[in-house]
C-alpha cells in the first residue's frame, strides 16, 4: 500500500513570496489533515478535511493560508505572502475514518519550509 505522498520535500523562499505544498493521501482515506510543526514544538493542526469538505480550520491563519481538497483526494496548502515565522515542517496526514484505531493517522514525510 502506497503511503502519503508530499511534495516538494524542501522549499526555501524569501518573505512575502508565495508557496504551495501538495499532498496525495492513501487511497480510500476520507480524512486529510495539514499540520504545522515549528522547531521545538509538536505538530499543530491547521486544517482537517472530510472528503472534500472542511471539518476544522480554526487554527488556520486565513489571512495568508489557504487549502483545498478537490474531488476529495489530493490537497494543496498555500501560503501567500509568507512570513519568517512560517518556517516549519508542514505535514500531511490521512486516516480512513475517525473511529478507526482512535484516529490513527498516516503521515507523509513533510515539506520543510525555510522563509528568509
Partner 1 sequence: ILNVEQSPQSLHVQEGDSTNFTCSFPSSNFYALHWYRWETAKSPEALFVMTLNGDEKKKGRISATLNTKEGYSYLYIKGSQPEDSATYLCALCSNDYKLSFGAGTTVTVRA
What φ, ψ does residue 75 adopt, rounded to 5°?
-140, 150
Q: Using the rule CB under 8 A, is 109 a contact of partner 1?
A: yes
Q: Using the rule CB under 8 A, is 75 a contact of partner 1?
A: no
CB of 69 to partner 1, least distance (A): 18
Q: Using the rule CB under 8 A, is 102 a contact of partner 1?
A: yes
Q: Which of 40/53 has CB closer to partner 1?
A: 40
Tally the residues of the chain. 116
- Cα 90 → chain centroid: 6
Which residues ranging from 13 to 52 are in contact with partner 1 (CB under 8 A)? 35, 40-45, 48
Residues 6+ apart with CB under 8 A from 61: none
Single out the residue of 12, 14, 16, 56 in contact with partner 1 (rule: CB under 8 A).
56
* Residue listed under C-alpha cell 489530493: 74
Judged by CB under 8 A, the number of residues near partner 1 is 24
C-alpha distances (whole Å) from 68 to each of 15, 38, 49, 58, 82 are 23, 22, 9, 15, 18
Question: Which positions lie near partner 1, rule CB under 8 A?
Answer: 3-4, 35, 40-45, 48, 56, 91, 98-99, 101-110
Amino acid at each position: 500500500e502506497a503511503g502519503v505522498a508530499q511534495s516538494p520535500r524542501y522549499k526555501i523562499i524569501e518573505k512575502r513570496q508565495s508557496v504551495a505544498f501538495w499532498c496525495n493521501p492513501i487511497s480510500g482515506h476520507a480524512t486529510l489533515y495539514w499540520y504545522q510543526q515549528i522547531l521545538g514544538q509538536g505538530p499543530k493542526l491547521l486544517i482537517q478535511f472530510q472528503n472534500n469538505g472542511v471539518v476544522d480550520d480554526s487554527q488556520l491563519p486565513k489571512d495568508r493560508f489557504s487549502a483545498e481538497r478537490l474531488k476529495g483526494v489530493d490537497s494543496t496548502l498555500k501560503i501567500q505572502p509568507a512570513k519568517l515565522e512560517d518556517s516549519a515542517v508542514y505535514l500531511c496526514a490521512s486516516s480512513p475514518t475517525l473511529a478507526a484505531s482512535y484516529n490513527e493517522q498516516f503521515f507523509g514525510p513533510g515539506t520543510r519550509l525555510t522563509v528568509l
